[in-house]
Chain A
Amino acid sequence: AQKVTQAQTEISVVEKEDVTLDCVYETRDTTYYLFWYKQPPSGELVFLIRRNSFDEQNEISGRYSWNFQKSTSSFNFTITASQVVDSAVYFCALNTGFQKLVFGTGTRLLVSP
Chain B
Amino acid sequence: EAGVAQSPRYKIIEKRQSVAFWCNPISGHATLYWYQQILGQGPKLLIQFQNNGVVDDSQLPKDRFSAERLKGVDSTLKIQPAKLEDSAVYLCASSFPGLSYEQYFGPGTRLTVT
Contact = CB atoms under 8 A, between A and B. Distances in A.
A105 B42 contact: yes
A44 B100 contact: no
A98 to B, nearest CB: 6
B100 A33 contact: yes
B108 A43 contact: yes
B99 A95 contact: yes
Interface residues of A, number: 26
Contact of A45 (B43, B48, B56): B43
Interface residues of B, number: 27
A97 B100 CA distance: 10
Interface string A23-39: 00000000011010100
29 contacts: A33-B100, A43-B89, A43-B107, A43-B108, A44-B105, A44-B106, A44-B108, A45-B105, A46-B105, A47-B103, A50-B102, A91-B43, A95-B100, A96-B99, A97-B99, A98-B55, A98-B56, A98-B99, A99-B31, A99-B48, A99-B55, A99-B97, A99-B98, A99-B99, A101-B33, A101-B45, A101-B103, A105-B41, A105-B42
Given A44-B107, A101-B103, A106-B42, 4 more contacts: A43-B89, A43-B107, A47-B104, A98-B99
